A and B are shown apart, each in its own frame.
Chain A
Amino acid sequence: MAPKVLLMGELFWAGPDAEELLGGIAELVPMESQSREEFFQDCAPGGRYSDIVGIYHEHLSDKIGAGYDSVGVKAAKARGIGVSNTPGAVDKATAITAVFLLVATMRRFSWCEANLRAGGFNPPGVEESARDLSGKTVGILGMGGIGLKMANYIRPFGCNLLYHNRRPNSLAPPDVKYVSELYEFLGQLDVLMVSIPLSEKTRGFVGVKEIRTMKKGSIIVNTARGPVIDEEAMIKALQDGHLGSVGLDVFTKEPEVDQRLKDMKHITLLPHVGTENQEARRKMERTALVNLKEFLTTGTGPNLVPECQ
């Protein structure tokens, strides 16, 4: 009897990949528990999931993705359970979303499109606030896989690129300058691209002090996780004009979005669609399946999260 793997989520694009990768190695069993209590019962001895060896997990109001803040990694490690994620698969799609937000905010395009569709044309005064990207300083906070892709995508737009990271990344291209001191980094930027994972250490990382260190009129783009930014501080800075605009794909309490943000014309908002396209979704699903296959056949996996290594 093939070992059982619990499918907590849905394979939209990688159904055939599941057959190809796990056929003969494991049986994928869809999760049917209707509540947390029922799930606990199903996992207890004698329950229908009591003998599973692996779980394909997709966070229910988010996606599999690279962010694994919804999985209790410490508890898993303590029980000898390995947790893997799907980095790489999300990099390009997320980086493109970040560049879209960079352009949209610098050029105030959301305001322009809304104005046009409402029967106007150029919004009055847009020439004063909209800026060229050429020659502007863009800082990437977090030079991981996504940050690296962002740098390459932004380069042809003629921006001056900087990055800040816990440590310099040897893979960073030579034209992206490392700035070791956070506030020195922030003070030089026209745009801050947030690309760090959410953890206890990074919650509220971009707060009042960090925002006020940035230049007046500057912009923040966030495609990482909402809670990395102190949302209240960000909103205040938008209201008093310290921040010229923000481009957000993530928020602190998705799917809710603060009404004050929804009412601002000069910013750009997306509903966490960083990887919402067929190619990226399929890559993510497939990567998770490959991770499972590796666990089952070799006892270890290629994408164990750093905390579990």
Chain B
Amino acid sequence: MSKPQVLIAANPKNGIVWSKEEQNSKLGAVAEVLELTSSSREEFYKDLSSGGKYANIVGIYRHNDSASAIGIFDKDLIDHLPKSVKYIAHNGAGYDQIDIAAATAKGIEVSHTPGAVDAATATVGAFLAISAMRQFYRAEVNVRNGQWKSGLSPARDPEQKILGIIGMGGIGKALARRLIAFDMKVIYHNRNEITPPPDFPCTYIPNVEDLLKQSDIVSLNLPLNDKTKGSFGKKQFDQMKDGSVLVNTARGAVVDEEALLQALDSGKLFSAGLDVFPDEPNVNPKLLQNDKITVLPHMGTETRDSQKKMEILVLDNLISALSGKGLLNQVPEQKK
């Protein structure tokens, strides 16, 4: 009896990067592993069709990098997947590049990688919060330009300020723990209050507006989906405290970018720390030219350590499913 086929749809050049060993020995023990060679969506559709090399695949290891070759897993692509596909194991906690409804309609189960991303992403959030408050980007530019402190004005400290977390999931909690150490007070909004409460002092705020009014730093830690897309806009910025800071390590598209630019221009925002943008890798030049903010190119989990953790978790999800034990981290929308 031949092994089920699994397609690795990851980086078009390198495939899985840090876990080739485990790909061969662990996944290879329970599956026949195929690497994505299609260089366009059209070619991919041909490869998926009857007689094509991926016509019988049962599982897919998916990384966002595959989008540069075959595009995102929207309804169209999912509808082209052969009937044999049962599992899409996604590398990433955020899975906005996969149309879950379309997958569910075809009986395809989808997993993601929560938990594995928490520490590294929360560290980015903490970094952005400190850098925005203390104006460290501008300070570093000054050193490298030979200007030392010239033109710098004293900045602000997170100490005793209020951190408002929108989305108290794994990353939100990890961020709270880091910033509480700096004497920040944590308030949070979540779809539901967390019970039992987290193991650190924090206050649940049922109404987002109240959270925005009280926060010195607002951190976005919620997933991107139809409900949250563009949900942080002019209304929300107007409700924020004057001179507050926005940190976004969630998804760029959660924020209305025009409203963000307005809030920065008007001084409503003292600063911002952004790791994500609506159309990566393209970033609005107005943000890139603003030296009062701190920006990073989606570095949330860009370390060999986190990348490996995530790759292994995706492989483990596939191995578990193929062994009849089901996916380990099926996405919440499909778990009923």
Chain A residues lying within 8 Å of B139, measured Cβ to Cβ, are: 270-271, 273, 276
Is A127's beta carbon under 8 Å from chain B?
Answer: yes
Q: Which of A12, A109, A110, A279 contacts B159 (CB 8 A)?
A: A279
Kindly provide the distance from the CB of A70 to the nearest chain B CB, expressed in whole angstroms.
17
B177 part of interface (Cβ distance < 8 Å): yes
In contact, A121 and B154 (Cβ under 8 angstroms): no
| Contact B305–A122 (Cβ < 8 Å) | no
Q: Is A100 an interface residue (CB 8 A)?
A: yes
Residues of A within 8 A of B154 (CB): 12, 276-278, 281
Selected from A115, A133, A156, A279, the residue in CB contact (under 8 A) with B297 is: A115
- A109 near B299 with CB under 8 A, answer yes
B136 neighbours in A (Cβ, 8 Å):
100, 270, 273
Contact with B along A64-99 (1 / 0, CB 8 A): 000000000000000000000000000011001101
- Complex contact B120–A132 (CB within 8 A): yes
Q: Which residues between 130 and 156 of chain A lie within 8 Å of chain B, taking CB atoms? A: 130-134, 152-153, 155-156
Q: How far is the CA of A116 from the CA of B289 in the complex (A)?
A: 11
Is A268 close to B, CB under 8 A?
A: yes
Asked whether, in the complex, the Cβ of A100 is within 8 Å of the Cβ of B131, the reply is yes
Q: Which residues of B contact A128 (CB under 8 A)?
A: 304
Chain A residues with CB under 8 Å of B299's CB are 107, 109, 112, 122, 126, 130
Which residues in A have their C-beta under 8 angstroms from that of B288?
A: 116-117, 119
Chain B nearest CB from A94 CB (Å) reads 11
Please report which residues of chain A, range 241-295, place their CB below 8 angstroms from some CB of chain B when the two chains form the complex.
254-255, 257, 262, 268-273, 276-281
9-residue interface stretch from B85-93, B143-151, B226-234, B256-264: B143-151
B291 nearest in chain A by CB position? A117
Q: Nearest chain B CB to A150's CB is how many angstroms away?
A: 10
Q: Does A113 contact B (CB under 8 A)?
A: yes
- Looking at B48-56, B71-79, B178-186, the stretch in contact with chain A turns out to be B178-186
Check if A269 sits within 8 Å of B140, measured CB to CB: yes
* CB of B205 closer than 8 Å to a CB of A: no
B307 beta carbon closer than 8 Å to chain A: yes
A116 touches B157 (CB 8 A): no
Chain A nearest CB, measured from B270 CB (Å): 12
- With A112-B299, A127-B17, A153-B182: A262-B144 Cβ-Cβ less than 8 Å: yes
Contact B130–A99 (Cβ < 8 Å): yes
- Is B303 at the interface (CB under 8 A from chain A)? yes
Which residues of B have CB within 8 Å of A278?
154-157
Shortest distance from the beta carbon of A217 to any chain B beta carbon, whole Å: 12
Q: Are B297 and A116 in contact (CB under 8 A)?
A: yes
Residues of A within 8 A of B152 (CB): 271, 273, 276
Give bound CA distance, A271 to B152, whole Å: 10
User: B148 touching A255 by the CB < 8 A rule?
Assistant: yes
Known: A96-B130, A113-B295. A255 touches B304 (CB 8 A): no
Given contacts A96-B182, A116-B295, A262-B144, contact A103 B157 (CB under 8 A): no
Contact of A276 among B119, B155, B178 (CB under 8 A): B155
Return chain A residues, CB-CB under 8 Å to B45: none
Contact residues in B for A3 (Cβ distance below 8 Å): none
Kindly list chain B residues whose C-beta atoms are within 8 Å of the C-beta of A119: 288
Known contacts A130-B302, A134-B119, A281-B154: A112-B297 contact under CB 8 Å: yes
- Please determine whether A270 and B182 come into contact, CB atoms closer than 8 angstroms: no
- Nearest neighbor of B281 in chain A, beta-carbon distance: A121
B157/A132 in contact, CB under 8 A: no
Query: Complex Cα distance A93/B142, Å?
Result: 20
B307:A93 contact, CB within 8 angstroms: no
Distance (whole angstroms) from the CB of A81 to the closest CB of chain B: 30
Q: For chain B, residues 58 to 98, give those with C-beta under 8 angstroms from any C-beta of chain A.
A: none
- Decide if A40 is an interface residue (CB 8 Å cutoff): no
Q: CB distance A107 to B131 under 8 Å?
A: no
A158 adjacent to B159 (CB under 8 Å):
no
Q: Find the B residue at minimum CB distance from A116.
A: B297
Q: Determine whether the beta carbon of A113 is less than 8 Å from that of B123.
A: no
Tell me the smallest distance from the CB of B10 to a CB of chain A, in Å. 13
Whether A157 touches B178, Cβ cut-off 8 Å, given contacts A128-B304, A270-B140, A271-B139, is yes
| In the complex, chain B residues whose CB is within 8 Å of the CB of A257 | 143, 146, 148
The reply on A162 being an interface residue by CB < 8 A is no
- Verify B156–A277 contact, CB threshold 8 A: yes
Chain B 142-175: CB-based contact to A (< 8 A → 1; otherwise 0): 1110111100101111110000000000000000
How far is it, in angstroms, between the C-alpha of A100 and the C-alpha of B143 when the chains are bound? Answer: 16
Residues of the A chain whose Cβ atoms lie less than 8 Å from the Cβ of B281? 120-122
In the complex, are the beta carbons of A109 and B295 less than 8 A apart?
no
CB pair A92–B130 under 8 Å, yes or no, is no
Which single residue of chain B is at the shortest CB-CB distance from A12?
B154
Q: How far is the CB of B297 from chain A (nearest CB, A)?
A: 4
Is the CB–CB distance between B304 and A104 below 8 Å? no
Specify the chain A residue showing the minimal Cβ separation from B160: A279
A-B contacts, 18 of them at CB < 8 A, read A93-B157, A107-B303, A117-B289, A117-B295, A122-B297, A122-B302, A130-B299, A134-B119, A155-B181, A156-B177, A157-B123, A255-B148, A262-B146, A269-B143, A271-B148, A271-B152, A276-B149, A278-B157
Known: A126-B302, A270-B140, A277-B154. 4 other contacts (CB 8 A): A93-B157, A96-B182, A116-B296, A130-B299
Query: What residues of chain B have their CB less than 8 Å away from a CB belonging to chain A?
Result: 17, 119-120, 123-124, 126-127, 130-131, 133-134, 136-137, 139-140, 142-144, 146-149, 152, 154-159, 177-178, 180-183, 280-281, 283, 288-289, 294-299, 302-307
A interface residues (Cβ-Cβ under 8 A, vs B) = 12, 92-93, 96-97, 99-100, 103-104, 107, 109-110, 112-113, 115-117, 119-123, 126-128, 130-134, 152-153, 155-158, 254-255, 257, 262, 268-273, 276-281
